[in-house]
Each structure stands twice: as C-alpha cells, then as structure tokens.
C-alpha cells in the first residue's frame, strides 16, 4: 500500500467533491439470489457466510476502484483486498476478523475456518487494514431484514455490506443486501457493476 496523488487518478474530481462532504457515504440496496450458495452449503458442508464473503471478494477484485481508499485526507492504493467478518467470541460478544482474499476458494475457506476460530477463542480482533483494502461485512442471521444503513464515522471509509437471514421464495432463496461505499472511492456505476458481478459469481460457483 502507498499514498497516491488524487490528481493523477480517475478519482480526482470525486476527491475534490466528496472528501470533505458532511456525509460522503452512499448506500445501495439489492436483493440477491443465493439459491446456489444454499445448495452448495448443503452438498459440500461449507458455511454460507464464507461462500458469500468469497464471492464478495471475487467480485470486488475485478473492479480497480476497490483497491483505492480515502484514509484521513489521503488516497491510498492497496495491492490486496480482504473481507471482514464479524465473529461471536467465547464471551458471547463480537470480534472482528479480516481474511485476505484469494482466488482459490479452498484456500480462502481454510483461512476463514482458522482465523474465525482463533478470533472467537482469543476475543482479539484480526486487523489487516495496514496491508489490505478491507470490505466490511455484518451478517445479522437471527432475523430477516430489508436493508440497513451503516454509520458515517468519519474514521472508517471502507465499503461495508450488511445482510440478515435469507428467505425462501417458492424454490429459490433470496437475500436482501445493503452496500455502503465512500463516494470518493467509487461512483454509483462502479457500485452497481460490483453488485451485478457479485450475482454472477454466486451463480457460477462450482459450475
């Protein structure tokens, strides 16, 4: 990771417009068909959230804007992406676990199992923000939700996704997802492309 000059990037105008805006965060809502993921969890024993986290990383890795993030008043270019997941720890509270994305699903699954177990047992967050652009996620699996808007802390500008329990609709399974992003990092067109690719990655998994 290293600092880059905003004027030398495609985000120059966005940087000028949104870096000091009172609320630079934008949230999209989309219902995703997760039937493929549900079937794979049952056939292969993978965790649903692990599969979805991998698909999120896979979709994001194809869009260059995900590798650039406003941090403080700087624009930082990262070489790697990570997906964050929230873990219920041994004390009944929650801890944060960053998992570096890899194209290899099996390797990602090994990391997911190892690091989420480690975080759950130690109650210590695993933070990769010094080396990766981290996509935050929060799965509220105890209830169905239509969407959620994350907070604008002014400190963390990372893209963030929230979902609840998936829903059965006839013979399909649907999952409403919210996707929050900093407007300096990307425009609506980039976010829309990401969500479309996310659906494509889900649909082609293990085909």
Position 76 scores a pLDDT of: 97
Answer yes or no: is 22 within a domain: no
Nearest CA among 94, 99, 120 for reference residue 109:
99
10 Å CB burial of residue 139 (0-12, 13-18, 19+) is middle
10 Å CB burial of residue 207 (0-12, 13-18, 19+) is exposed
Confidence of residue 207 (pLDDT cuts 50, 70, 90): confident
What's the whole-model pTM score?
0.96
Answer yes or no: is 107 within a domain: yes
The answer to whether the CB of 184 falls within 8 A of the CB of 70 is: yes
More confident residue, 64 or 147: 64
More confident residue, 206 or 63: 63
Confidence of residue 151 (pLDDT cuts 50, 70, 90): confident
Confidence of residue 103 (pLDDT cuts 50, 70, 90): very high
Angstrom distance (rounded) from CA 207 to CA 205: 6
Nearest CA among 55, 137, 162 for reference residue 101:
55
Residue 113's domain spans which residues?
Answer: 2-9+45-174+189-204
Range 164-185 average pLDDT = 95
CATH number of the structural domain spanning residue 85: 3.30.559.10
Answer yes or no: is 15 within a domain: no
Q: Residue 152: pLDDT above 80?
A: no
35-44 and 48-61 helices cross at what angle (nearest 10)? 130
Answer yes or no: is 115 within a domain: yes
Position 56 scores a pLDDT of: 98
64-68, 104-108, 112-116, 139-143: which has the minimum mean pLDDT?
Answer: 139-143
Q: What is the mean pLDDT of the chain?
A: 95
Answer yes or no: is 165 within a domain: yes
Confidence of residue 60 (pLDDT cuts 50, 70, 90): very high
Q: How many domains does the chain have?
A: 1
Angstrom distance (rounded) from CA 127 to CA 139: 18
Q: 9 is written with which tokens?
A: 């990037």
Confidence of residue 128 (pLDDT cuts 50, 70, 90): very high
Answer yes or no: is 36 within a domain: no
Angstrom distance (rounded) from CA 85 to CA 189: 26
Answer yes or no: is 34 within a domain: no
Range 179-199 average pLDDT = 97
Answer yes or no: is 168 within a domain: yes
């Amino acid at each position: 990771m290293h600092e880059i000059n905003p004027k030398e990037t495609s985000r120059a105008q966005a940087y000028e417009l949104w870096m000091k805006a009172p609320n630079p965060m934008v949230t999209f809502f989309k219902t995703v068909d997760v039937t493929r993921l549900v079937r794979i969890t049952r056939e292969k024993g993978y965790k649903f959230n692990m599969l979805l986290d991998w698909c999120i990383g896979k979709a994001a890795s194809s869009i260059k804007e995900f590798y650039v993030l406003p941090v403080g008043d700087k624009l930082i270019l990262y070489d790697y992406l990570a997906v964050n997941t929230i873990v219920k720890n041994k004390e009944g509270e929650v801890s944060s676990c960053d998992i570096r994305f890899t194209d290899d699903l099996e390797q990602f699954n090994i990391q997911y199992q190892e690091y989420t177990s480690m975080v759950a047992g130690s109650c210590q967050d695993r933070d990769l923000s010094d080396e990766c652009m981290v996509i935050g996620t929060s799965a509220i699996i105890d209830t169905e939700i239509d969407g959620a808007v994350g907070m604008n802390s002014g400190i963390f500008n990372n893209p963030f996704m929230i979902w609840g329990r998936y829903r059965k609709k006839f013979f399909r399974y649907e999952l409403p997802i919210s996707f929050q992003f900093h407007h300096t990092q990307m425009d609506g067109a980039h976010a829309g492309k990401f969500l479309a690719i996310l659906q494509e990655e889900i649909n082609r998994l293990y085909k």
